[in-house]
Structure 1
């Protein structure tokens, strides 16, 4: 299932293609490497910065609704976008930030599956060598309706058939998970994913969030994989329930006794974090924006935090950067294709500096971007969500704007 903060459009979306080849697949964004200064090609044998696995959905998002749909009536949305969703949200956000990303997922052999695979592998530069296509299995679909700053989702799908041994989903297989600087996962209450322990033993840093506990137990002991995590990133409601506290910041402190780094997201209020190893804490407010679609913003936040962590930034800078990427993401349709790249980050920072007198606090908080963005060259335009899965090749195939 899909899972975000900007000014938005509510009348159509822009499709981005390579202007020099209007009928070809949009090229992946050119890669700015935020970890370049830390890489030692002679000593670093890690092919991937981040590995993750999960379910890819096709997301269809309706925006510009004045209210929730009412039974027995027909509602018209003023905007619509389609894009890969589910674990694709996180994978795309990581890749657009310049991290070498490996994704293991099942794809249906229907048109939705072909579209999602094409968009991720060729459009975003995500490695799918550990992914596979399942004959006769249709792709899971989520329809999301955004209104009044919230969203309602309806999903349909069936669990992918299990693969046999020595495959991407067998945690004992020598190539899975692959050596990676970090792995990102979502913890499952009452369950354990053996590959997480395998990755941790190999030296990968594990970053995890968690879904809603439908059992109502909210017991940290029911999250055995938490023991393998470097960072745990629940939202405020989840964190307070797990810690039996009534304050997100108190919840972060309590969680830091169970995991080295506890990060609690506070929605429009920002995020707070406590490093249980050093005692350091940080509390960073969110960037005030008008959201078009919050789908995937939580995933984008985690991706930004992972990138800052791998780059060894100070804790407060990691929180600020993660909040910025989430804020930029909700100004676009969809989950995965709403994720910002370095061009959007640079444009936001240039605008903020130009109007520094209007937002002096942001100028101080994000001053660390100055040195970082000096190495960010020209970036190709990012692919954005469009209403249709694809157009037939022909004279109009490369036209940009879709209603």
Structure 2
């Protein structure tokens, strides 16, 4: 596999590139709906896929970009849990040595319905029982950790990861309380980068536009990155004062599930590789755009062969926007070794087929 960090690795580096923890769901994704479901009627979807979801979206996206990824999570011992474990550990190469199987605990499930460029989700699950004996190596020493901040909650592992030398990258969930108070995100103090979407950023900063929100957030965290959906992303560096904005890559979107996770994964990888800020934004946006062309959150994430194929196609099929050709030239140089497309596991309509 192509190693994007080969140029910056040293013998003293930790074995783990990125650590993350959270809940793994089984995702059932319905696409091709003409509109939102209407009460009292039956809606038929033209497409369906099943794949690991939840934190598995991020773990898979990181692993497909060549990062040594460790996930700490609970898995049910039902068919759903077994399927998700197999896909992550054996199909995607995610290190699950800090994960555990919980007997008798059924796997959480999310049904995602994609229509009109958006998606609606329904989830069901119960919190997994805590481990009898916490693992002293959880979190492990790692280059980076990815966290999802929860308003009003402190997650002790984030501070431990930062103290062990991990660079913490974080997004945030919706604030159901409606307060949108940065003081309610105590773990933000441990973060190197904060990556909310535009709506979240503006609510937290009481600013009228995403760019102003990013600059305001940069007063609280070293690097603020505000995602703008299909329009791209904007970033502000609180230390240097540098700002960058990169437009989105226009594609025919099939399913936006997990695109935000793929964006964060791309940004983390590019940051660990020490790329310039604008290149990091461009790469993260490209990976997210490529992901929405396939079913599902985790198994829609692109790998290097698909990124290389996109670069070749863009540069080999003139006329193209000269600015776009210039913007992604750094990738063409990086992938000059001729990385070739390879089959990727994708979301499937069902799971559990048995051989004859």
> In which range does the TM-score fall when normalised by the shorter chain?
over 0.9
- Out of 172, 179, 185, the residue aligned to residue 223 of structure 1 is 185
Maintained 8 Å contact 1:92/1:337: yes
Q: TM-score, normalised by structure 2?
A: 0.98
**What is the match of residue 169 of structure 2?**
207
| Residue of structure 2 equivalent to 1:128 | 96
Listed one character per residue, the Cα deviations across residues 172-205 of structure 1 (whole Å, up to 9, x for unaligned) are x2x1110100000100100111111111011100
Separation in structure 2 between the aligned mates of residue 344 and residue 323 of structure 1, nearest angstrom: 14
The match for 1:397 is none
- Structure 2 equivalent of residue 368 of structure 1: 330
Q: For 1:36, what is the secondary structure of its paired residue?
A: coil
Counterpart among 126, 143, 153 of residue 121 in structure 2: 153
1:246-291 CA-to-partner distances (Å, cap 9, x unmatched) read 1100000000000000000001211000011111100100011221
Q: Distance in 2 between matches of 1:390 and 1:338?
A: 20
Partner of 1:89: 57
Aligned length: 356
Matched, 1:330 2:300: no
Which of 1 and 2 has higher RCO (CA within 8 Å, sep 6+)? 1
Could you say what the CA RMSD is over the residues aligned between the two structures, in angstroms? 1.0
- CA deviation digits over 1:329-384, x for unaligned, max 9? 00000000000001110111011101242322210110100221124644641100
Q: Is residue 32–residue 376 contact of structure 1 (8 Å, CA) maintained in 2?
A: no
Name the CA distance, whole Å, in 2 between partners of 1:356 and 1:276.
39
> Which residue, out of 289, 303, 308, partners 1:346?
308
Q: Counterpart of 1:382 in 2: which secondary structure? A: coil
How many Å separate the matches in 2 of 1:114 and 1:261? 38
**1:310/1:138 CA distance change after superposition, 3 Å:** same
SS state at 2:139 partner: coil
**Corresponding position of 2:240:** 278
Find the aligned partners of 1:227 and 1:152 in 2 and give their Cα distance.
32
After alignment, is 231-240 or 359-368 more displaced? 359-368
Task: Determine the structure 2 residue equivalent to 1:14.
Answer: none
Distance 2:284 2:309 in 1: 16
d(CA) in 2 for partners of 1:61, 1:386: 10
- Aligned to 2:319, what secondary structure does the other structure show? helix
**Match among 174, 178, 187 for residue 140 of structure 2:** 178
SS at match of 1:264: strand
Match in the other structure for 2:215: 253
Correspondence for 1:40 among 10, 28, 31: 10
Gaps of 5+ in 2: none
In the other structure, the counterpart of 2:199 is: 237
Deviations 1:95-147 (A, max 9, x none): 00000000000000100000000000000000000000111100000001111
CA contact (8 A) 1:342 1:376 kept: no
- Structure 1, unaligned stretches of length 5 or more? 1-30, 168-172, 395-403
CA–CA separation in structure 1 for the residues paired with 2:84 and 2:203: 35
2:133 to 159, 165, 169: 165
Per-residue Cα deviation, 1:198-231 (whole angstroms, up to 9, x for no partner) = 1101110000000000001100000000000000
Structure 1 contact 256–262 (Cα < 8 Å) conserved: yes
Q: What's the counterpart of residue 17 of structure 1?
A: none
Residue matched to 1:111: 79
